[in-house]
Amino acid sequence: MFEEARRRDQQDPIADKRALFALPENCIYLDGNSLGPLPVAAKARATEVVEQQWGNDLITSWNKHSWITLPQRCGEHIAPLLGAKADQVICCDSISVNLFKLLCGALALQHGRTKIITTTDNFPTDVYIVQGIQQLLGEERCQLITVDETEIEAALNDDIAILLLTQVNFRTGRVLNMAKLTEMAHQHGILTVWDLAHSAGVLPLELDNCKVDFAVGCTYKYLNGGPGAPAFMYVAERHENAFIQPITGWMGHATPFTFSSSYTPHQSVSQSLTGTPSVISMSVLEASLEMWSDIDIHQVRKKSIELGEFMLNCMQHLQLIDTLPLASPLNPNQRGSQLAFKHDQAYAICQAWIAEGVIADFRAPNILRVGFAPLYISFQDIWSACEALQKIMQQKTYLQPEYQKKQTVT
């Protein structure tokens, strides 16, 4: 398997992209689906923004370095990765805040409809935000309905206002059919809101062609924007005139520097802004996004599938599948850029793996999750990681007390 890994690395058309990242030595990083590593360009940009733009140019940087247009510029970089025209994407706030904006605004467009349907196993914040809106508006104006992923199609009807879905399941990696489900929703007059947290930067997306209404996503995973990097939101052009988001801060005003006492929304996706952009974080993100200008997302997806299939072959070769059964779809076209394995000791196994220099992650209650970020992960990385995992499982080092103790962030 080692020779096969080396051969695949030699034939990898995007192997050179690994040099774009400041990766730590003696570490195999399989958690880029939670937090991407540091791009070299982002590191340099952070120094420039802090020392020169803030430290030397001070407040003049709003104009001199165009801080004020960072949300729009980052949106323009992200848009091609979403299959969207640039003027429909803006970078701001977090997924949670942007979901609140989009769901409230979308509900207001659906006169007489109050139900928001989502999946039981959606990422918790998506569900929590709907619960919060329901408490805020009352059940007569907002009702949350949850169904199993397998029951989405059957649950769609003319009473539903919004279909809220995450394209890639955060635990299993199962991919939902965006085009099909969006079309089915529209047949019932339902607006769609898609969460692209585990999609952007690793799956080819076609929001415009799929006629998606609204979408959110984060930039600190496969887009490598750094911890706490701002999220993005997509508002289809056809909704821009009617859609009004509820957190009407001054940055969403048509003319914010007139300091008018009454709110007039910007007539573009920029009305989705609320407060002052997080300049340092967004500047770092912009540097990370600039490296996508010559990267083919279809090559990224192709390698992602190959990495996943190669890992499964390594697991079979090392006789690990029986003790760590796959929780992800077996068909690689039905899963995102991750694999999930089930084990009652998944947390401790993950901690022991980290101690061996392989960083993966755990998702409660029993999922060992492995993420494949094709820009910097090699096939030799995967083979070495599997060898380390075999050692852990054979020696049962995960039973040691230091790996059993739960940390604050799991």
How far out from the chain centre does Cα 373 lie?
12
Nearest Cα residue to 79 out of 186, 234, 231: 234
The predicted pLDDT at position 371 comes to 98
The predicted pLDDT at position 54 comes to 98
123 in catalytic set: yes
The predicted pLDDT at position 270 comes to 96
174 in catalytic set: no
Domain annotation covers residue 42? no
Domain annotation covers residue 178? yes
- Please identify, among 262, 294, 326, the residue that sits at the C-terminal boundary of a domain: 294
pLDDT in tens, 91-150: 999 999 999 999 999 999 999 999 999 999 999 999 999 999 999 999 999 999 999 999
**Whole-model pTM?**
0.97
The HSE-up count of residue 304 (CA atoms within 13 Å, CB side) is 29
Catalytic pick among 195, 213, 361, 381: 195
Helix, strand, coil percentages for the chain (3-state, nearest 5): 45, 15, 40
The predicted pLDDT at position 272 comes to 97
Rounded CA-CA distance 89/47 in Å is 27
The predicted pLDDT at position 222 comes to 98
Positions of the chain with pLDDT under 50: none
Answer for the pair 170, 198: CB distance below 8 angstroms, yes or no. Answer: yes
**157 shares a domain with 243:** yes
**394 shares a domain with 270:** no
The predicted pLDDT at position 23 comes to 97
The predicted pLDDT at position 294 comes to 95
**381 shares a domain with 237:** no
SS3 for 160? strand
Instruction: Report the DSSP beta bridge partners of residue 265.
Output: 253
The two tokens of residue 187 are: 């047949």
**289 shares a domain with 333:** no
Domain with 262 in it: 47-294
Rounded CA-CA distance 172/126 in Å is 17
The predicted pLDDT at position 176 comes to 98
**17 shares a domain with 112:** no
- Amino acid type, 1: M
- Please identify, among 294, 317, 336, the residue that sits at the C-terminal boundary of a domain: 294
**58 shares a domain with 16:** no
- Please identify, among 232, 262, 294, the residue that sits at the C-terminal boundary of a domain: 294
The predicted pLDDT at position 306 comes to 98
**180 shares a domain with 317:** no
Catalytic pick among 45, 221, 335, 363: 221
Catalytic pick among 21, 29, 214, 220: 220
Instruction: Report the DSSP beta bridge partners of residue 234.
Output: 89, 215
64 in catalytic set: no
pLDDT in tens, 107-118: 999 999 999 999
Rounded CA-CA distance 171/253 in Å is 39
Query: Would you tell me the crossing angle of helices 279-290 and 40-47 to the nearest 10 degrees?
Result: 150
CATH classification at residue 25:
3.90.1150.10
Catalytic pick among 123, 222, 398, 403: 123
Catalytic pick among 243, 361, 369, 372: 369
- Got the DSSP string for 67-128? GGGHHHHHHHHHHHHHT--GGGEEE-S-HHHHHHHHHHHHHHHSTT--EEEEETTS-HHHHH
338-342 vs 232-235, strand pairing mode: unpaired
Domains: count for the chain: 2
